[in-house]
Amino acid sequence: MSKAVQHLQGITTQDEYGTPRWLYDMMQLKAGFTPLLDTCSNIFNPKCTKFYTINDNALSKPWDVDFFMNPPYSKVRQFVKYGYEQHLKHNVNGLVLTYAKTDTKWFHGQVYEKAEIHFIEGRLRFMDYHGNPTPHPAPYPSMWFVWRKKPDLEAFSS
């Protein structure tokens, strides 16, 4: 059985993996903004002061400030769709880390030609629920992308 198949079987029971702090710091530095909301966190590994855990049902809350998202593998489609909608609705920046499956509908519908895309070389080692590095790297390549808010044109019309 391949590692990817083994991992897919495992995410049905454990689907929360945290972003390594070094990667998050690098991503926000390159993106040029500091997210204020971590939409997919847990109490041990939040990247922002304000965060939602699995118990908060982030897909029912407004994301009206610049946000960071590392969605669970099993719900990438739903989270990316909702994140894109929130980005447009509230005109906020979104910084997203996910697997790089460029053949998917969500990638073409909400990411491709709508965000800045950055592919990550090699396979990441995520953090477990308690913030410790996982023993095995991710089964898929990863990418991060940025949805940029539109400039406030009123600020320029004076």
User: What is the pLDDT at residue 17?
Assistant: 82
pLDDT band at 153 (very low <50, low <70, confident <90, very high): low
pLDDT band at 66 (very low <50, low <70, confident <90, very high): very high
pLDDT band at 87 (very low <50, low <70, confident <90, very high): very high
CB-based contacts of 143, cutoff 8 Å, min separation 6: 97, 98, 99, 100, 117, 118, 119, 120
User: What is the pLDDT at residue 133?
Assistant: 85
pLDDT at residue 81 tops 80? yes
> What structural domains does the chain harbor?
17-156 (3.40.50)
What's the average model confidence in pLDDT over 15-32? 90
What's the average model confidence in pLDDT over 119-137? 87
User: What is the pLDDT at residue 86?
Assistant: 98
**Cα–Cα distance measured from residue 51 to residue 31, given in angstroms and rounded to the nearest whole number:** 19
**Average pLDDT value over all residues in the chain:** 88
**Cα–Cα distance measured from residue 65 to residue 87, given in angstroms and rounded to the nearest whole number:** 9
Cα Dmax for the chain = 64
Tokens of 131: 């913030």
**Cα–Cα distance measured from residue 129 to residue 114, given in angstroms and rounded to the nearest whole number:** 31
User: What is the pLDDT at residue 3?
Assistant: 58
User: What is the pLDDT at residue 154?
Assistant: 57
**pTM greater than 0.75:** yes
Q: What percentage of residues in the chain have a pLDDT greater than 70?
A: 87
pLDDT band at 43 (very low <50, low <70, confident <90, very high): confident
pLDDT band at 157 (very low <50, low <70, confident <90, very high): low
